[in-house]
Structure formats: C-alpha cells, structure tokens
Amino acid sequence: MKIKHVAVIPVQLKLTEPYTIAYETIDHAVNVFLRLETASGLIGYGCAAPDLAVTGETGESVQQDLEGPAREILMGRDALRISRILEDCTKNLSAHPSTLAAIDMALHDLLGKKAGLPIWKILGGYRRSIITSVTIGILPLVGTIEKAQQFVHQGFKSIKIKGGKDVESDIEKVRRVREIVGPRIELRFDANQGYTVEESQKFVNGVTAAHLELIEQPTPKGQPDMLGRVTQSVTLPVMADESLMSLRDAFRLARKDLVDMVNVKLMKVGGLIEAMHINSVARSAGLEVMIGCMDESAYAIAAGLHYALARSNVCYADLDGHLDLIDDPAAGAVFIKKGYIFPNDQPGIGFQPELD
C-alpha cells in the first residue's frame, strides 16, 4: 500500500472567546492537516496542533517539516510499515513532536481503513467511551462560577479549573465552585507551572474540603525535583503535564517517583505509538494516565480518544480543545453526551475532514 501523494493543509482557527492560563492568553490556534493518498486509493489524514511554548513549533515550521523532510520519507513507502516510517522521520524531526503526531495519525488512519476497524479496537479496545473534563481558564471569581454552572447545565461531569497566578484567589475559586456544583461533579485543578513548592502546599491544604481529584503541573517543568517535593508532601494526587514531553521524561518521572499521574498529549509526545510506550512505563510504575490535548481540531481530539479507549490505564480524559474552535474542518469527529466523549465508530480515526 504505497503512498503516492502527500498534501499539507494549514488551517487558522479562531476561538469563540479567548482564555487565559498561568503564562499566556490564547485567542486562536493553527492546525496543520496532513493528507496521505495511497496507490490503492485509500486516504489517511493527520493533524498537527503546534504550540511554541509547549512543542517548540509553529504552524509555519510544521508546514515546512511536512512539505520537506517528511514528504521525502513518506513518498513511495508502504503505509502499513508504521514503526519503520516513524523511526525514519524521528531521525530528522525528533524535536518536532506535533509534526510527528500528524504523520503517526495519518498512518494509523490508513491502517484502520485497510483493516476496516476503528483505531481504538486495533490498539486494544478496552472501553467505548470515557468522561472528559471541560476547562475554565483564569477568570475572576464570578466568571469562574458562571462558567462552572454553564458546564454542569450542559451535562459535563468533570471540570478543570486553571490557575497558578495567585494562590489565595485559586483557593477561593475552587471552594466556591465546589459549593455551587455540589459533590457529584469531579473537580480538577491545573496550575500550569505557576506555583512554588510552598504555594502548592498552601493550595492543597486550602482546598481539602473541596475534594479535588488532582492537581496538575503545579511547579516549573525545568525543575523536576520541585514537582517531586510537592508529590511527597501533599495528600492530593499530583500530575505531570509540561514536565512530560517524551518517553525518556516518563521514565525519569517514574524512576524517581516524582508524580502520581501523567498527562499524555499526542502533540507533545509525537503520536499514538509513543503514547502507547509512555502508557506502558506509567503502568509499570503504578502511575495513572490522562489523555490531554492542545487547541486541536476535533480530528486530533478523536485520535487522542482512540488512545484513551484502547487501554485500561488511561483513566482520565481532558479532551475539550475543539469545543471553542470556529469553523473546525473536522467538527463532528467526536461527540459528547452527558459528559462522556465518544468516537465515530468508523474505520481508522473515523472521520474525513472537510479540507479544500
């Protein structure tokens, strides 16, 4: 099943409303779609969602990577030899994870279409759906409460609150949201590297009564020992996000017992195959896994969902990066019902983006 044509389609996507995290405010996203056509007529799609602060890439750099070295490697290759192709791509693009994720995704889409099966079944087929959290960016207290109420009304069962700029304000927000949404809604908190060890401890102690599910990346990614100190000194499960960019990072976090959980994002780690390797390391160390996302088209969200559905150790999902995108060419690639996110149960990733 040889690849005979490679097309790269960048898409600018505005958000319905900007949102703020500890270190930036976001009002748009660039996704770059990859289209692989084989000699047999099958077409596979991938999607990169670069983020300069996280992946070190831009839309322009991803487009250059895919149209340059990636195209040279892909053309004429047997699309079913996924591991070999990705190994060859990694030699040139190891520091370009969302580019690799798009390639990995398109190849898996072709595999699923060839087999006539959705990817989640090929990779393991553990579950049919999973609860996803929905995120509230950094807002004033009143805005945070209003957003939480809206999400509960929409049927979401899990809410992630962003913070990391002011620990006292964060504590108050979490407490008030818990009062408003009641005890049955799962609450998660993401500091996006904004705290010191002492602030992390103060936050956890201050929200004990709110019964948070977890705290995500409280301290700076470049100082893993700080993350470990938080993990060892608080009762709340601590999750690594920005500190986990690769399989090697997963091994280091696990070996030194620095966290309780890890957030795997296809755009950070380079696609489904690397995500599966990381899940194995996490499972061997007794760490639970969340599948997370960037500001991604629903197509990339679907790929992450297939990963979550395939393995029992992927216990959590934060797959909401598509919800605020305007004119997403893959709108409908996943659907959410009563807080659970489902794939389209078609072969491959399960959806054909509407790309010109």
Class of domain 121-343 (CATH, top level):
alpha beta
Sheet containing 3-20, strands listed edge to edge, beginning at the edge strand earlier in sequence: 3-20, 25-38, 43-48
Query: What pLDDT digit, counting tens, does each position of 51-110 carry?
Result: 999 999 999 999 999 999 999 999 999 999 999 999 999 999 999 999 999 999 999 999
Q: What is the pTM of this model?
A: 0.96
Contact between residue 275 and residue 105 where contact means Cβ atoms under 8 Å apart: no
- What rounded mean pLDDT belongs to the chain? 97
Retrieve residue 276's tokens: 């599966």
User: What CATH topology corresponds to 3-115?
Assistant: Enolase-like; domain 1 (3.30.390)
pLDDT at 24: 74
> What is the model's pLDDT at position 20?
83
β-bridge pairing 3-20 and 25-38: antiparallel
Cα dist from 211 to 87, 156, 183, 222, 274, whole Å = 43, 18, 8, 29, 33
**Span(s) in the chain for CATH 3.20.20.120:** 121-343
Tens digit of pLDDT for each residue in 156-189? 999 999 999 999 999 999 999 999 999 999 999 9
Q: Which whole number is the average pLDDT over 244-250? A: 97
CATH 3.30.390.10 domain extents, the chain: 3-115
